[in-house]
Amino acid sequence: MKANNHTQLIKTEATRLGFFHCGISKADFLEEEAPLLEQWLKDNRHGQMKYMENYFDKRLDPRLLVPGAKSVVSLLLNYFPEETSRHAELVSASSSQTLKQVQGDGDGKPKISKYAYGKDYHFVIKEKLKELVEFIRTNIGDVNGRVFVDSAPVMDKAWAKKSGLGWVGKNSNIINKQQGSFFFIAELIIDLDLEYDSPVADHCGTCTRCIDACPTDAIVQPYVVDGSKCISYFTIELKENTPPEMKNKFQDWAFGCDICQDVCPWDRFSKPHNEPHFKRNEEMLNMSRKDWEEMTEEVFRKLFKDSPLKRAGFEKMMDNIKAL
C-alpha cells in the first residue's frame, strides 16, 4: 500500500509542478537497449560526440549512477509554442513531395528549433526537479537520489518508453498519443520502491513521413538515426565548421531542426505549453538573415545569455548562418 500511496503522491506533485506526464519504471539493467547502443556506437552514428562512448555501463544501469536505486521516475515537460501555423501546414501535407515543397517555401529567415524559443530548459527543469525531491523527502521520508536533465549518461528515451510515456518513433523520438513529441524528458532516480508503469504500443504503423522528409537522410532506417548526419548535429554538436558538402542542405535551420517532428501526424495533437520561462524570444525569431550576419558577439551574448543558443556560441552560430 505504501508503494501505491507514494506513487500517487509523486505523480500528483509532478503535475502541480507543470509536468504533463509522469511514469515510473524499475531501476534495472537495460537489457534490450544494450546491443542497440553498442552497434550504434560501433557504426559511428555519434560522429564527433565522443562523450557518447563514455560510461557505457552506467548508461545501461542506473544503479551504477545512484547506489541503491530502485525506481526511475520519468517526466515530460511540454515546450510546444503558441504559434503553430507553420506546424499545422506541415502536418497537413499529404505526400513526401508536398512535404519537401512546404519545407522549402520559407522566407529565408534562419530557423531555430522550438525547444530553444525561450530560457534554457536545463535551468527550468532542474528547479522543478529539486522541488519534487524536496517534496518527496518532506512527505515520504529520507529518500536518496539524483535528478537528470541531459546532465549525465542516462538513456532518457529508453526510460520514458519503459515508463509508458510513449513509444520510440521511427525518428527515434518519444511520441505520446495525447501530446505528440514536442517535450523535454527528465529523470529522477531514487532508492524508493514504487508502483511501476508498463510500456505502450508502437503506433507509427506504415508511416514513413519523418524518413521521407529528412533533407540529410539522417534516419538511415526506421528507428535508427545517424546522429552524424542530423542537422541538429551539424548546427550544435559539431565543433568544426560545417563541411562544404553540407552547405545549402539545411533548409534554413540555423540551430537544431524540427522537420521529423513537424511532419509527424501524431504532432497534430501538440498543445501550446503554459510555462512562462519558455515564452518566445520574439526579437530572436524576427531576425532576418542580414540581422544575423551583422550581429556582433556582444549583442549575441546579451540576447542569448539565458538561451540554449548560448551552448553553440557566437562563432558556431555565425558559421551556421553562412552554411544556409
Residue 149 to residue 185: CA distance in whole angstroms: 7
How far is residue 198 from each of residues 162, 164, 165, 279, 305, measured CA to CA in Å?
Answer: 6, 5, 9, 33, 40
Residue 110 to residue 119: CA distance in whole angstroms: 19
Dihedral sign for Cα atoms in the order 9, 22, 79, 52: positive
Contacts of 119 (CB under 8 A, 6+ apart): 277, 278, 306, 307
- Active-site choice (57, 150, 193, 217): 150
Q: Are strands 71-78 and 253-255 parallel, antiparallel or unpaired?
A: unpaired
Q: Are 254 and 324 in contact (CB under 8 A)?
A: yes
Active site residue 150: yes
Residue 199 to residue 57: CA distance in whole angstroms: 23
Percent helix, strand, coil in the chain, to 5, is 45, 15, 45
Using alpha carbons only, how large is the chain's radius of gyration in Å? Answer: 20
Residue 78 to residue 137: CA distance in whole angstroms: 26
* Active site positions, annotated: 150
